[in-house]
Copies of this chain bind each other. A is one copy, B any other.
Amino acid sequence: MSMKSYLDMTKQELSAELAAVRAAYDALAAVPRKLDMSRGKPNPAQLDLSMPMLALDPATLTHTASGADTRNYGLPTGIDECKALFADLLGVQPANIIVGGQSSLNLMYDSVARALLLGVYGGSKPWGQQGKLKFLCPVPGYDRHFAVTAAFGFELINIPMTATGPDMALVKQYVESDAAVKGIWCVPKYSNPSGITYSAETVRAFAALKPAADDFRIFWDNAYCVHCFDGKDDELLNIFDACKEQGSEDMVYEFASTSKISFGGAGVSVIAASENNIQFIAKQLGVQTIGHDKVNQLRHVHFLKDADGVKEHMKKHAAIVRPKFECVLGALDTEIAPRGIAHWNKPHGGYFVAYEGLPGTATRCVALCKEAGLVLTPAGAPFPYGKDPEDSVIRIAPTFPDLPELEAAMELFCVAARLAALETLTAK
């Protein structure tokens, strides 16, 4: 099999290569295997890193520094020390933090639901009383973000991602001209799935938006804020700092969680926002809930301590995650790059590699992998309504499998990707 770019091959060369790659695929597919590269989940070895959190002395978990009993009712917005931990991590003040339950998606969904039913700070009426609504979706992006606004009937508008973040000229055009545009989903650091971090210019452009709507919100899901795995941490400008220069702090809801710091099944989530927003939300929250698990909040504080403690802990994750990304990126560099049939990011953090192949090949590639025993995220998933207009993007999630499984998976993936590309090229 040739290492020449498929784009430079003659029709004859492509036919020969197709036969060779199909034979390679058939050989791999003939061996029963069960591989999974679909889920952006931590590996059990990463979960084991936080086991000491479950072994803390119970006597240390019952009271906050101020004497509040974590085991009893009260403090619906969270305990002070947990607010302080996240404030430290996100570069805001504790008064800008509300601590939630174990799922930050839940906080985001609830923020949309409350905006629909009750409105947001400064808005003249609830979103739900304003007719047809729209939400901006940088693509490729996180399927579960898009699913929230899809479930509530928003029209979802694709915004192309660039190497520095969403196409801000297009964002500005939509946000500033159309009051039906109520929000935008962002994963500003190590974005899901493209792995890029928004540039300072992009963040400043967000802060400088002058929305047509009086109740527009940026949903800033900083899910991977401390998730660098190779020591070359991207720098993300603090959006609240940028907003302060513009007087636009009320426009942003930031979200974060410990899902990929401690446990995806037993973590702590937060929303960070201006004091205006926090006070407004806290009043609504007081009706919604008695409060979230305060013992678990204190458990996290004792285990992680502060932002530095979190960063130290994340180095242990990095040591487990880095080789997996090296495996994925190495396979792509060796097997795909010379063939010229795709490009992809080389992220310094986060949980994903976004593989962008030739148009019309993603669905076929995923199907070929599936037939041979490798489950990938469905093609189209990173797009609103599950529809990739180019059918070119595949989200690769390296973290969950063990390394040998990942190596086998990437061997198969690369052959399938080449086969899908060759089928398309030879059909022309």
Chain B residues within an 8 Å CB radius of A288: 105-106, 109-110, 148
Q: For the complex, is A284 an interface residue (Cβ under 8 Å from B)?
A: yes
Which residues of B have CB within 8 Å of A292?
Answer: 101-103
Question: How many Å from the CB of A157 to the closest CB on chain B?
Answer: 19
A69 at the interface (CB under 8 A from B): yes
Q: Which of A108-133 contact B (CB under 8 A)?
A: 109-110, 113-114, 116-118, 128
Q: In the complex the two chains form, is A290's CB within 8 Å of B105's CB? A: yes
Total copies of the chain: 2
Contact A266 B289 (CB under 8 A): no
Interface size class of A (residues with CB under 8 A): 35 or more
Does A259 sit within 8 A of B, measured CB to CB? yes
> Closest approach, in angstroms, between the C-beta of A27 and any C-beta of chain B?
33
Contact (Cβ within 8 A) B69 A295: no
Q: How far is the CA of A71 from the CA of B114 in the complex (A)?
A: 29
Asked if A231 CB lies within 8 Å of chain B CBs, one says no
Nearest B-chain residue to A290, judged by Cβ: B103
Give per-residue flags for A37-79: 1 if the beta carbon is below 8 A from chain B beta carbons, else 0. 0010110100100110011001001100000011111110000
Nearest-Cβ distance from residue A285 to partner chain B, whole angstroms: 9
Asked if A220 is at the interface (CB within 8 A of a chain B CB), the reply is: no
Using a CB–CB distance below 8 Å, which chain A residues touch chain B? 39, 41-42, 44, 47, 50-51, 54-55, 58, 61-62, 69-75, 101-103, 105-106, 109-110, 113-114, 116-118, 128, 144, 147-148, 151-152, 259, 263-266, 284, 287-296
What are the 8 closest A-B residue pairs judged by CB atoms, nearest first? Answer: A54-B58, A266-B295, A106-B289, A103-B290, A71-B263, A73-B264, A47-B71, A265-B294
A-B contact pairs, 28 of them (CB 8 A): A41-B72, A42-B72, A47-B72, A51-B62, A55-B58, A70-B266, A71-B263, A71-B266, A72-B264, A73-B265, A75-B265, A101-B102, A101-B292, A103-B289, A103-B290, A105-B289, A105-B290, A106-B290, A109-B289, A118-B151, A128-B128, A144-B287, A147-B287, A259-B290, A264-B290, A266-B294, A266-B295, A293-B293
Other than A39-B73, A102-B293, give 12 A-B pairs with Cβ distance below 8 A. A41-B72, A47-B71, A54-B61, A55-B58, A102-B291, A103-B291, A106-B288, A106-B290, A128-B128, A147-B287, A151-B284, A265-B294
